[in-house]
Structure 1
Amino acid sequence: MTDDLTHGMAPIEPGLRLHYVTAGEGPRTALLLHGFPQTWREWRHVIPPLVAAGFRVIAPDYRGAGNSWRPADGYDKRTMARDLHVLLRTHLNVEGPVVLMGHDIGLMVAYAYAQAYRDEVSHLVTVDAPLPGTEVFDRIRTDPRVWHFAFHGVRDVPEMLVAGRERPYLQAFFDARSADPSAVAPEDFDAYVDAYSAPGALRAGFETYRAFDQDIEDNRAALARNGKLDIPVLAVGGATSTAGDVIEQMMREVATDVTGLRIPNTGHWVPDEAPHTLAQALIDRTKA
């Protein structure tokens, strides 16, 4: 699998280069956006079936994550979406609408991208996370099971407490949100620990949470200005996840053509726990 991937670094703006992985040469492009505390690697087992179905797949490390650079700011999801637009249109010369799938923080970036570049996205797949600016987000944000929203949002303290303890913290983070704790392979977990142990990586990851209040304002303004998305949306949740049973309802707040999918025997880490089911769902939805 890894032999079929091409890695690259794209200059986006002064002080920012994004790492990305591409696979396949199909006529349609699928852009896959990871979440926290992961990198592009969370899509390793999703990419092959998409390539086999005729997609060109692009899986970047978004701003601050993995091998991408870690600037001091710009972690609101509208700015992160603009980064990816530059990556696709200027660096990779992608033409035509893309199929967009985002998990966790990547869901938030994917929605911002679909709102900002409405004519350049054909389908949106949102995977297991609350979206800032929705009523569902407001409810989930106060749920004790997502205590990390508040913890990560505090300035400096999370870095002070987690730095040097990245491995046990991330292990607890994954285990608490898994239906199958073995789904994240040891080599992948080691890669995530290495990625978030790098200088500045924790800060960059936490900044994506610290931007939630700005994201709420941006998303509500975009919805008021542009209206709901009218492209087909597939809203995917894990059966045992906090957001799993409300993600379809959430996406109906911001989109008109929504199909829900609850995947059995999965928690929050859907691309790891049910990669083939997730890939097939995208393939089936984009045939319609």
Structure 2
Amino acid sequence: MQTSTVQVEGLSIAVREAGPDDAPGLLLLHGWPQSSYVFESVIEPLSSGHHVIAPDLPGIGQSRGVPESGEKRTLARLMRGLIEACGLRQPIVAGHDVGGQIVFALLRDHAETLSGAVIMDVAVPGVAPWDKVIANPHIWHFAFHDIPALPELLVSGHERAYFDFFFDILAKEKASIPTESRAIYAEAYARPESLKAGFDWYRAFAEDAKANAPPPATVIETPVLYLRGSAETGEIAEYVAGLKTAGLTNVTSDTIADSGHFIADENPKALAVRLERFCEDVNRAV
């Protein structure tokens, strides 16, 4: 695996990259509060048959430059530019958490560029059961992160402790997210612009919901896998039904054993195996 930077629309995007350039492409998108490091143990197993790219999302970690918005349509456009800049062939894109919301925006706006897509451990703004999710008082941080400036003021300098709270309550087992990984994730958001970029993803949820709510003009037949940790709360069938109602006609689902919300940290071997199987099925059909 090698690391490099790629220029997209004036932004410098740091990427982890492995696998043959001429192999089918696989783009891995992290969520909050993580970085591309979350896929460190997933990239190598997948790289024998795929050209794998895992970026630090714009503004996060080693990526530099501030995106014009945290809206997922904006980030999806940037990720499409990254796909083109990296020369990914027959690309499949897999996103976790906010990365999964970006995957949905890619499907909505750029489905013709994708061979397949994986959405992991996330509710998509404007797509059922979104209204139920945001009404849940236990999801308090959505509203807190939406407030201008205040989250930065309170969290700056305390990233590690703040992020640990979420790792501890959302993972099936606290110890499944190593101390080293937690430190790397906190460092990825330590710069003021990085911390703001992460909170801006939440501040864009209202606009994301508006963009996602109207039914698409045409159905989207791209193969989609919806993945969740086995210990995640909520009924996976509700999420699949919501995606289908939103126009995705070819959605399957599965769970990753012994995992809560952070499946790439909690059970990377199982995740790599499931992604490999999905990619094989998609590439066989292309």
Partner in structure 2 of residue 259 of structure 1: 252
Superposed CA deviations along residues 32-60 of structure 1, whole A, max 9, x for unmatched, are: 000000000111111122113x0110001
5 Å-filtered alignment, 1:169-208, equals 169-208=162-201
Q: Secondary structure at the match of 1:100?
A: strand
Matched, 1:130 2:123: yes
Partner in structure 2 of residue 17 of structure 1: 12
Partner in structure 1 of residue 274 of structure 2: 281
The correspondence for 1:101, drawn from 94, 104, 107, is 94
Partner in structure 2 of residue 233 of structure 1: 224
Partner in structure 2 of residue 31 of structure 1: 27
- Do the aligned residues in 2 keep the contact of 1:21 with 1:40 (CA within 8 Å)? yes
Separation in structure 2 between the aligned mates of residue 72 and residue 28 of structure 1, nearest angstrom? 28
Percent identical: 33
Structure 2 residue runs of 5 or longer lacking an equivalent are 282-286
- Do the aligned residues in 2 keep the contact of 1:34 with 1:42 (CA within 8 Å)? yes
Could you tell me which amino acid in structure 2 is paired with residue 230 of structure 1? E
Structure 1 residue runs of 5 or longer lacking an equivalent are none
Separation in structure 2 between the aligned mates of residue 161 and residue 174 of structure 1, nearest angstrom? 18
Matched, 1:75 2:70: yes
- Do the aligned residues in 1 keep the contact of 2:23 with 2:50 (CA within 8 Å)? yes
Separation in structure 1 between the aligned mates of residue 249 and residue 39 of structure 2, nearest angstrom? 27
When the two structures are aligned, how many residues end up with a matched partner? 278
Task: Please tell me the root mean square deviation across aligned C-alpha atoms, in Å.
Answer: 1.6
- Do the aligned residues in 2 keep the contact of 1:28 with 1:55 (CA within 8 Å)? yes
Separation in structure 1 between the aligned mates of residue 235 and residue 177 of structure 2, nearest angstrom? 19
Cα 1:243/1:77, change in 2 over 3 Å:
farther
The correspondence for 1:92, drawn from 76, 86, 93, is 86
- What displacement does 1:145 show? 2.4
- What displacement does 1:144 show? 2.0
- What displacement does 1:70 show? 4.2
- Do the aligned residues in 2 keep the contact of 1:241 with 1:267 (CA within 8 Å)? yes
Separation in structure 1 between the aligned mates of residue 249 and residue 58 of structure 2, nearest angstrom? 30
- Do the aligned residues in 2 keep the contact of 1:145 with 1:242 (CA within 8 Å)? no
The correspondence for 1:61, drawn from 56, 61, 64, is 56
The correspondence for 2:42, drawn from 23, 46, 55, is 46
Separation in structure 2 between the aligned mates of residue 191 and residue 115 of structure 1, nearest angstrom? 32
Partner in structure 2 of residue 247 of structure 1: 239
